[in-house]
Amino acid sequence: MAKLVQGERIGKLGKVVLGCSAIVFDAAKQKVLLTQRTDNGRWCLPGGRIDPGESAAEACTREVLEETGLEVNVERLVGVYSDPNYLIEYADGERCHVFALHFEVQEIGGTLGLSNETTAYGYFSQDEIADIDLMEHHWQRIKDSFAEQMMAFVR
């Protein structure tokens, strides 16, 4: 089970891991796609680790496909997130300070569905997101995505 731990500079207790996440808007750009994780039951953006030999865009499209069944095209870099006050702890004892590249993507195919990593999915407005159990470190990425700033945020 993945557990998010917060604390002053707690990231120094983990290894640095490069990851990515994606924002998939609905057609009206009022709601975003979130998935519910199988390991902890919490809601999050589609995403995951970037594998060796893989570009950031390749990782992003692979992760979205694996977790949602959607084929996407990377449109823009929304931001880079590396808050040292977050640490992800996994059931096997691994602890990670994640540097995440967050992208806006455009759906180009596939069929939305569940995977072995997800138990549910849905499109949510910002107001609806406030009422669900969202992974805390994804909230800033969602807000930044709605800001539609052309220059990437660095946080």
Q: Give the pLDDT confidence of 114-153 residue by residue, as tens digits.
A: 999 999 999 999 999 999 999 999 999 999 999 989 899 9
- What confidence score (pLDDT) does residue 116 get? 94
What letter does residue 141 receive in the DSSP assignment? H
Query: What confidence score (pLDDT) does residue 2 get?
Result: 85
Classify residue 53 as left (phi > 0), alpha (psi -120 to 50) or beta. left
β-bridge pairing 32-37 and 43-44: antiparallel
Report how far Cα 49 is from the mean position of its chain's Cα atoms.
10
Give the mean pLDDT of 78-102.
Answer: 95
Q: Give the single-character DSSP code of 13.
A: G
Mean model confidence pLDDT for the chain: 96
| Spatial separation of the C-alpha atoms in residues 73 and 106, rounded to whole Å | 5
Tell me: pLDDT of 62 over 90.
yes
**Rounded to two decimals, what is the model's pTM?**
0.94
Closest CA to 31 of 134, 138, 126, 110: 126
Find the mean pLDDT for residues 65-90: 97
User: What confidence score (pLDDT) does residue 63 get?
Assistant: 98
The answer for residues whose C-beta is within 8 angstroms of residue 68's C-beta and 6 or more apart is 24, 33, 35, 46, 110, 112, 113, 115, 118, 121
pLDDT of residue 1: 79
Q: How far apart are CA 111 and CA 97, in angstroms?
A: 32
